[in-house]
Amino acid sequence: MTTLPAAARAATHRPGRLRVGVIGAGRVGAVLGAALRYAGHDVVGVSASSRASRRRADALLPEVPVARPDEIAPNVDLLLLAVPDDVLPGLVRGLAASDALSAGGFVVHTSGRYGVDVLEPATKRGSLPLALHPVMTFTGTAVDLDRLRGVCFGVTAPDVLRPAAETLVLEMGGEPVWIAEAVRPLYHAALSYGANHLVTLVASAMDLLRASGVGDPQRLLGPLLSAALDNALRYGDRGLTGPVPRGDAGTLAVHRAVISAIDPQIAGVYTTLARLAADRALASGLLDPQDGERLLDVLGSDHIGDATEEDQ
């Protein structure tokens, strides 16, 4: 029978007992540090290099000393690394090389891209590795603490540490979803594809509405996009509406032309997404094959010219 390390047993059975250090008081680190503190843990140090991060630390982790990562790491049971993805590997190597890590303590990162392999230098020093990625966008304010309730965390951990990982996520108000090490990049790409590109898509749609003379595009888009998102989450491809499932090739041609006159780059994105929508509509049976052929003929054209009167 596998025996849990002492720190893992503590994390699983005795709330309010871990000394926590937060490396990176960005939007994620400061909020998760505060969530752990509200769960009863003792946040004993935070690193904050910029003015913005210091303000976040003051607001969310008041009276917690601000110190360097190598000063914080030796004095904690759980070291939370909330830094950009590209910074994480070097930070872990540096902490391990400086002998700053406590053997038997947790080293937890919040990156979606990485699992626990990136923590191998720390693991070799006796640290207990966990990858806890909150699937949420953060403002870096106290508002996020309420938003954490029920939020999924993408969790990767050695089997023996799964109970501890689950407990930590539940204490922060989240729900653990287990992600295998090998698919972390794909998992993260899927989330970024949906969330980050949605922001760009909506902002671009607001630009086009402003160009059409609408002074408050949020009023138009808010209810429409909320309903579209709800339909997509409930019904998948069968929630698709608009000119693609209707087979309105002429409408798509007009759209390409008028958008190109405002912003050719947005027109290119519109065309790419319409092609993808048409392919998925065909595959799901929403679009008649004959109508689909007409749509793809229009969308496959590299020339975006003026729409004909017939199209309009």
Q: Across the chain, what does the average pLDDT equal?
A: 91
For residue 34, how far is the Cα from the chain centroid?
Answer: 19
Residue 301: the pLDDT is: 55
Give yes or no: residues 274 and 233 share one domain.
Answer: yes
Asked if the structure places residue 310 within a domain, the reply is no
From 150, 179, 208, the end of a domain falls on 179
Give yes or no: residues 16 and 119 share one domain.
Answer: yes
Residue 14: the pLDDT is: 47
Instruction: In whole angstroms, give the CA distance from residue 244 to residue 171.
Output: 45
**At 93, which CATH number?**
3.40.50.720
pLDDT in tens, 229-260: 999 999 999 999 999 999 999 999 999 999 99
- Mean pLDDT value across residues 155-177: 97
Residue 253: the pLDDT is: 94
- Mean pLDDT value across residues 202-210: 98
Confidence of residue 28 (pLDDT cuts 50, 70, 90): very high
Its domain, for residue 227, covers: 187-300
From 124, 154, 179, the end of a domain falls on 179
| Nearest partner of 126 among 98, 96, 167, judged by Cα | 96
In eight-state DSSP terms, residue 74 is G
Give yes or no: residues 137 and 200 share one domain.
Answer: no
CB half-sphere exposure, 163, CA atoms < 13 A: 14
Q: How many folded domains does the chain comprise?
A: 2
Residue 250: the pLDDT is: 94
Give yes or no: residues 56 and 168 share one domain.
Answer: yes
User: Over 70: is that where the pLDDT of 103 sits?
Assistant: yes
Q: Report the percentage of the chain scoring pLDDT > 70.
A: 91
Give yes or no: residues 49 and 167 share one domain.
Answer: yes
Instruction: In whole angstroms, give the CA distance from residue 177 to residue 154.
Output: 5
Give yes or no: residues 99 and 19 share one domain.
Answer: yes
Give yes or no: residues 155 and 192 share one domain.
Answer: no
- Mean pLDDT value across residues 81-96: 97
User: Over 50: is that where the pLDDT of 112 sits?
Assistant: yes
Give yes or no: residues 224 and 91 share one domain.
Answer: no
- Sign for the CA dihedral angle at 123, 22, 28, 18 comes to positive
Give yes or no: residues 164 and 102 share one domain.
Answer: yes
DSSP characters over 226-256? HHHHHHHHHHGGGG--SHHHHT-HHHHHHHH
Give yes or no: residues 175 and 106 share one domain.
Answer: yes
Residue 307: the pLDDT is: 42
Residue 305: the pLDDT is: 44
Instruction: In whole angstroms, give the CA distance from residue 190 to residue 107.
Output: 25
Q: Report the percentage of the chain scoring pLDDT > 90.
A: 88
User: Over 80: is that where the pLDDT of 74 sits?
Assistant: yes
Backbone angles phi, psi at 72, to 5 degrees: -80, -45
From 163, 179, 195, the end of a domain falls on 179
Asked if the structure places residue 311 within a domain, the reply is no
Give yes or no: residues 232 and 252 share one domain.
Answer: yes
Residue 102: the pLDDT is: 81
For residue 206, how far is the Cα from the chain centroid?
Answer: 23
User: Over 50: is that where the pLDDT of 309 sits?
Assistant: no
Instruction: In whole angstroms, give the CA distance from residue 243 to residue 235.
Output: 18
- Mean pLDDT value across residues 254-283: 96
Pair 170, 193: CB distance under 8 Å: no
Residue type, 187: Y
Residue 300: the pLDDT is: 85
Give yes or no: residues 175 and 205 share one domain.
Answer: no
User: Over 80: is that where the pLDDT of 9 sits?
Assistant: no
